[in-house]
Structure 1
Amino acid sequence: MDTTSTGLSFRDATDADVDVLVALVESAYRGDSSRAGWTTEADILEGQRTDPEGVLEVVRAPGSRLLTVERDGRVVACCQLEHRGEHAYFGMFAVSPEQQGGGLGKAVLAEAERQVREHWGVTEMHMTVISVRDDLIAWYERRGYRRTGRMTPFPYGDERFGIPQRDDLRFELLVKPLACGRASAE
């Protein structure tokens, strides 16, 4: 377990964490509870953001990690890291709504980038963001991510990803170069 000076501990999720992580992701993006933070998707999507099967799939997938972040013994954030050759994919990022706006997301993103660079030796981090999420995309741009203009369709009709409240949703690929190389010693 890595512990940083911020009072956070980072570890890989286990099967036992699934229910807590589903609740965290849902609270950060859907429903009235998500409105306590700024990352809510409640105005563009209803229904679920993820489910236990989806989270368990990430936890168990080869080349994938679900980084779980705790503060004072409580899960406060998570993110998916997936090794894809020369780059890593960053997804399922959630910060507890009441913890948003205080630098926790920035700390988690920085730690995720450090870990994929050092453990997998990747040179880029990739992610997809719903293209109409201007505030969220701007937040990532301030952290070095760039918009690529490469779009993929939103999975309309598949309620596992939510129930769209508008017809113009799609995902845009964001990319950030990472400093090269693995750590020399761990």
Structure 2
Amino acid sequence: MVKGTIPSGDASGAARQTFRVATAEDVPALVSLIESAYRGESSRAGWTTEADLLEGQRTDAEAVADVLREPGGLMLLAESGDETVACCQLERREEHAYFGMFAVRPTLQGGGLGRTLLERAERLARDEWGVTEMRMTVISAREELLAWYVRRGYTRTGERSAFPYGDERFGVPTREDLEFELLVKRLA
């Protein structure tokens, strides 16, 4: 289920991605990908940047390694050749799965790779874990990203939680109104 190849969106079909569960050896590449998709100038090549909302790091090697060590947790990744080009975190939490650390190389955003990875994550959670719901939190100021998830069947719950101000492991906010919104999708 987790493994497989798909066309990258290249009309010739020459470039392909493979999907697999990440291992500890993948941590440096995952951190680099996640950072490039959300922070700094490189993130501005895509549409998922948080560079106008947050400075500093998005994640670090310890946080990614913790996901891999967590019982019921994994990172699903997409590779093109020997390069990691997309990833997401999945964590089994009783009857639902949590989806996070979703990143697609900025220069590949908008070509369908993210949608494909999200669909694979949903299938894995439903078919292999038997969960009936996927949950995630998104910074509520990210209207374009929230709309993208709504188009993929997620419901904005209106349930908000505080952004961890003062904890630089999650970045340094450039504004004072950041909070997370819970999104939910039924998988059954």
TM-score normalised according to structure 2 size? 0.93
> 1:94, 1:123 → 2: CA distance?
24
Please tell me the residue identity of whatever aligns with 1:120: W
Q: How does 1:42-121 map to 2 (within 5 A)?
A: 42-121=51-130
> 1:171, 1:51 → 2: CA distance?
20
Deviation of residue 5 (structure 1)? 3.3
In the TM superposition, structure 1's runs of 4+ consecutive aligned residues that sit over 4 Å from their partners are none
- The number of residue pairs the alignment matches comes to 179
Structure 2 residue aligned with 1:32: 41
> 2:60, 2:24 → 1: CA distance?
13
Please tell me the residue identity of whatever aligns with 1:177: R
Deviation of residue 131 (structure 1)? 0.4
Structure 1 gaps of 5+ residues are 180-186
Does the alignment pair 1:2 with 2:3? yes
What percent of counterpart residues are identical? 65
Deviation of residue 8 (structure 1)? 2.3
Please tell me the residue identity of whatever aligns with 2:6: S
Structure 2 gaps of 5+ residues are 8-15
- RMSD across aligned C-alpha pairs, in angstroms? 0.9
1:161 equivalent among 156, 161, 170: 170
Q: State the Cα deviation string for residues 57-96 of structure 1 (Å, max 9, x = none).
A: 0111110011111122321000000001111000000000
Structure 2 residue aligned with 1:148: 157
